[in-house]
Structure 1
Amino acid sequence: MTTNEDTFFEKDELILGLKIDVDTYRGTKKGLPALIKLLNSEKIKGTFFLSIGKDNMGRNIWRIFKPKFLVKMLRNKAFKLYGFDILFRGFLWPGPDIGKILKKLLRLPTKFGQEIALHSYDHYKWQMNINKFSQEQVEKEFRKANIRWFKLFGSPPSAMGNPGWQLSEEWLRLSDSIICKDVKYRSDTRGTTCCRIKYNGLTFNKLQIPTTLPTYDEVIGRKGVTDETYNEYLLSLIEPGKLNVLTIQAEIEGIACFKMFREFVQKCKHKGIKIVPLSEIYEKFQNTGKVMNLHFQEIPGREGQLAVLKNS
């Protein structure tokens, strides 16, 4: 297996892996179809990471008492960005079941030739508890999601990526087990290149494709970045001959910032940046021998500990 990451791309090749997180009922109902229509019209493919169970994202409202989370909410004008319904859905009562109510919309990506991957069953529950679940709980949650996925799409998921860039040894063990034999790769981390993960002295086999670029809500309002300068700032971070992976949200780029994202896609075309689904990144890196260590740390613009890949 080759271990030279620089051999996976041509020196001047500009490729951008597009990861689209669909976290909520609103994002599925409004943002997903808008993004499908845009990508289809621009003849572009991406990977839609789908949440297929209950939308209880409103329970995040308790995090407003954490200073860093409150600062982020105020900085990116969360009520305007996400909408009142997202911020409170599932807060006082169980939220709507996306996989039951919006099944036709969840099937739109495959209808138009886009790649799909499992993001979560209950986004809030997974994001807040991934590093707390026992091995038994992890397997129970995955089996529940796998059954729903099979009902929706007729086959098991071929890729996965947990909410909020959260990961644990239990989830890594699950990914290497027989019940995840159809999963080709995961995308749960922040980093600079594709690799296998080493954690707690163990090396895991499933390929990890990290997000390399910052998200909109991490940079807007920081270091002078505004809606008017965001696209150019993001484009300046895309490096030729290197791994570039951008995560967008159906709730942001598919709704509140749709026009901005459409302009970003057009600017990418103008600059010769090829936007691809993560499956194409997987095809390039599937035989890499690169192994990186998993760490948990805060990153600028985001509250809480994230899964981050490092050489040591």
Structure 2
Amino acid sequence: MKLALKVDVDTYRGTLEGVPRLVDVLRRNRAGATFLFSLGPDHTGRAIKRAFRPGFMKKVSRTSVVAHYGLKTLMYGTLLPGPDIGKRCADMLRGVHDDGFETGIHCWDHVKWQDNVEHADAAWTGEQMQLAADRYAEVFGTPAKVHGAAGWQMNAQAMRLTQRLGFSHASDTRGTHPFMPVQNGEIVLCPQLPTTLPTLDELIGIDGTTEDNVHEKLLALTARPPAHGSHVYTLHAELEGMKLLPVFERLLTAWREQGYELVALRDLAATLDLPSLPRHEVLRGEIPGRSGTLMLQGPEFLA
């Protein structure tokens, strides 16, 4: 059984502080992982616009956003200029790759992508993805092979670009097992490795779940072998890499005890037989514990 660890790095602080801590913990636990980086400006403060989204303020109150992200981060892009993550942290990003971890693209501007891509046109979408692809190639000296969208937010053009930009695999969706995505009847030849497990911020504060027992909720979901042989767990440099690092360490130990091999997305992708991979529609829908809609693995496409 494989459990792939996907690390979303959203912010400048998460890159500087959370990523090195996660690298250390993963190396000590002999675990693989995929780090997906935000490569442009950190404009986290502009997420204040989400206050008007149904359910957003309730989620904020559950997960202590200030405690996890820090007050300074919450002012980037408004009261403070947003630092350019890819420029300021290039050496650190390369160091993650040099330590043997898979690296890839999360986005260019996290807030801009997450809040606008659903209704964006092809030109805007292409520009944002190209900015991230160009910066990745500038930092690492080679094109990115994996993409994992900020907030699991995509549109039809973004799905097409996962193929056209040459990604060998992507993790832009939530679902149950690897699949070849179909958007509006169009097959995109870039396999999706969807996140199969809930994130910590989706669980904490629901049904008596706290930071002290949230790992138990996740371990109950992984106790039995997954029907399709693998799981993908998405963690965040700003959460598991900082205040919730002890929770993550408990998960790593327990997942090994449950019999899982902890791997990067590329290790999971390497096991796929692409010609026989099922094709599934990609649909927009809701996930418990998360505000708004995101991209979900839909029904199998049989046409």
Per the shorter chain, which TM-score range?
A: over 0.9
Structure 1 counterpart of 2:270, one-letter code: E
Distance 2:163 2:240 in 1: 33
Equivalence for 1:259: 246
Segments of 5+ residues of structure 2 without an aligned counterpart are: none
Deviation of 1:91 (Å): 2.2
Equivalence for 1:146: 133
Structure 2 counterpart of 1:240, one-letter code: P
Deviation of 1:89 (Å): 1.7
Equivalence for 1:225: 209
Distance 1:286 1:149 in 2: 28
CA contact (8 A) 1:33 1:108 kept: no
Is it true that 1:16 corresponds to 2:22 in the alignment?
no
Q: Superposition RMSD on alpha carbons, in Å?
A: 1.4
Distance 1:63 1:175 in 2: 27
Is it true that 1:192 corresponds to 2:180 in the alignment?
no
| SS in structure 2 at match of 1:91 | coil
Residue deviations 1:132-177 (CA, integer Å, cap 9, x gap): 3222222222222222111100001011111000111111222232
Distance 1:271 1:214 in 2: 18
Equivalence for 2:79: 92
Structure 2 counterpart of 1:55, one-letter code: D
5 Å matches for 1:57-206? Answer: 57-177=44-164, 180-181=165-166, 183-206=167-190
Q: Normalising by structure 1, what TM-score? A: 0.91
5 Å matches for 1:228-307? Answer: 228-238=212-222, 239-241=224-226, 242-287=229-274, 288-307=276-295
Percent of aligned positions with the same letter in both sequences?
Answer: 36
Distance 1:286 1:166, change over 3 A: farther
Structure 1 counterpart of 2:240, one-letter code: E
CA contact (8 A) 1:138 1:174 kept: no
Distance 1:98 1:277, change over 3 A: same
How many pairs align?
A: 296
Distance 2:183 2:93 in 1: 34
Q: Normalising by structure 2, what TM-score? A: 0.93
CA contact (8 A) 1:81 1:252 kept: yes
